[in-house]
């Protein structure tokens, strides 16, 4: 069932678990996430990165929305890390539930201005807006941020930012990175506590770079208010490993068995993440399908 991102995240926060937001690129990825969610009765988010949106366009968005509508568990569709007003408007007009207006690469004042403008636009469509304060290092889908450019979220600035922009969710930087962790992860939970105090109890907190974080850090983050984790690297690796396997590399390999194997491999990773985030067997906690088009929606 196509569900509201707000409802998914608020319910997760209230019941102290988190929603997995999984980056998808194609039919195999969509099927892996939805099948995993149905298998363990978990809510989930299908998340489209700007590079995937540019590549797949309307057909990819339509695929995600239809898969969400047809699912037996709550699923929402989200635009991830968008720096483009044009792409955000496209996603909203296509019916996506939520968007990330990512101005983290901009100076603070410009980030605030861009985020506020995109929030006003998205709210007219009834969509949830995620933003980012601080900058996460690492690489995702060809976009890289060097460690020297990364900056942890300033709690005081975070509070000012959310009040000025009226965003619904905030992605925080507390030592998390995109891609693989090259050393033992170290998350600044004291900083996360201070951020929670300054942004207020109603702010939905998000942590990117969940691939590779140990269970204890995931659990502590959830206890401190994080209700959404972004996952990409490990699912993508499962897909790539399958393509390199004998079933796909055989001289006369059939495409369908290769696709089915890739779905199974990604599905297993997604299930493990859902169990780690505590969202398994939580589908029943969520409300009935999302009314996608609100009466005040602007087209």
Strand partners of residue 281: none
Tokens representing 146 are 């060097």
What is d(CA 137, CA 6) in angstroms, rounded to the nearest whole number?
Answer: 27
What is d(CA 150, CA 136) in angstroms, rounded to the nearest whole number?
Answer: 5
Q: Which residue matches tokens 């390999």? A: 253
* Binding positions: 81, 102, 132, 178-179, 208-211, 230-233
SS3 of the chain: the string is CECCHHHHHHHHHHHCCCEEEEECCCHHHHHHHHHHHHHHCCCEEEEECHHHHHHHHHHHHHHHHHHHHHCCCCEEEEEEEECCHHHHHHHHHHCCCEEEECCCCCCHHHHHHHHHHHHHHHHHCCCEEEEEECECCEEECCEEECCCCCECCCHHHHHHHHHHHCCCEEEECCCCCECCCCCCCCCCHHHHHHHHHHHCCCCEEEECCCCCCCHHHHHHHHHCCEEEEEECHHHHHHHHHHHCCHHHHCCCCCHHHHHHHHHHHHHHHHHHHHHHHCCCCCHHHCCCCCCCCCCCCCC
**Within a 10 A sphere around the Cβ of 86, how many other Cβ atoms?**
8
* Binding positions for dihydroxyacetone phosphate: 179, 209-211, 230-233
**Catalytic annotation present for 80:** yes
Instruction: Out of 80, 168, 188, 202, pick the active-site residue.
Output: 80
Q: Decide: 44 and 279 in contact? Cβ < 8 Å.
A: yes
Positions marked active-site: 80
């Amino acid at each position: 069932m196509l569900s509201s991102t707000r409802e998914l995240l608020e319910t997760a926060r209230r019941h102290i678990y988190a929603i997995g937001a999984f980056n998808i690129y194609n039919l195999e990825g969509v099927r892996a996430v939805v099948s995993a969610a149905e298998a363990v009765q978990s809510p989930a988010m299908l998340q489209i990165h700007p590079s995937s949106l540019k590549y797949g366009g309307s057909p990819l968005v339509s695929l995600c929305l239809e898969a969400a509508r047809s699912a037996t568990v709550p699923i929402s569709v989200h635009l991830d890390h968008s720096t483009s007003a044009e792409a955000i408007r496209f996603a909203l007009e296509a019916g996506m539930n939520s968007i990330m207006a990512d101005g983290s690469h901009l100076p603070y004042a410009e980030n605030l201005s861009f985020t506020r403008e995109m929030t006003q636009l998205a709210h007219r469509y009834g969509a949830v807006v995620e933003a980012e304060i601080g900058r996460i290092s690492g690489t995702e889908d060809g976009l890289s941020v060097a460690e020297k450019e990364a900056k942890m979220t300033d709690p005081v600035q975070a509070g000012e930012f959310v009040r000025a922009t009226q965003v619904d969710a905030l992605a925080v930087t507390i030592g998390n990175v995109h891609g693989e962790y090259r050393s033992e992860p170290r998350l600044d939970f004291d900083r996360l506590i201070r951020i929670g105090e300054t942004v207020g109890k109603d702010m939905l907190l998000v942590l990117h770079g969940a691939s590779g974080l140990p269970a204890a850090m995931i659990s502590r983050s959830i206890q401190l208010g994080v209700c959404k984790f972004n996952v990409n690297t490990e699912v993508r690796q499962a897909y790539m490993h399958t393509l390199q396997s004998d079933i796909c590399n055989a001289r006369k390999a059939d495409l369908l068995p290769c696709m089915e194997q890739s779905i199974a491999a990604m599905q297993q990773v997604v299930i493990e993440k859902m169990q780690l985030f505590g969202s398994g067997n939580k589908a029943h906690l969520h409300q009935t399908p999302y009314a996608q088009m609100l009466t005040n929606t602007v087209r």
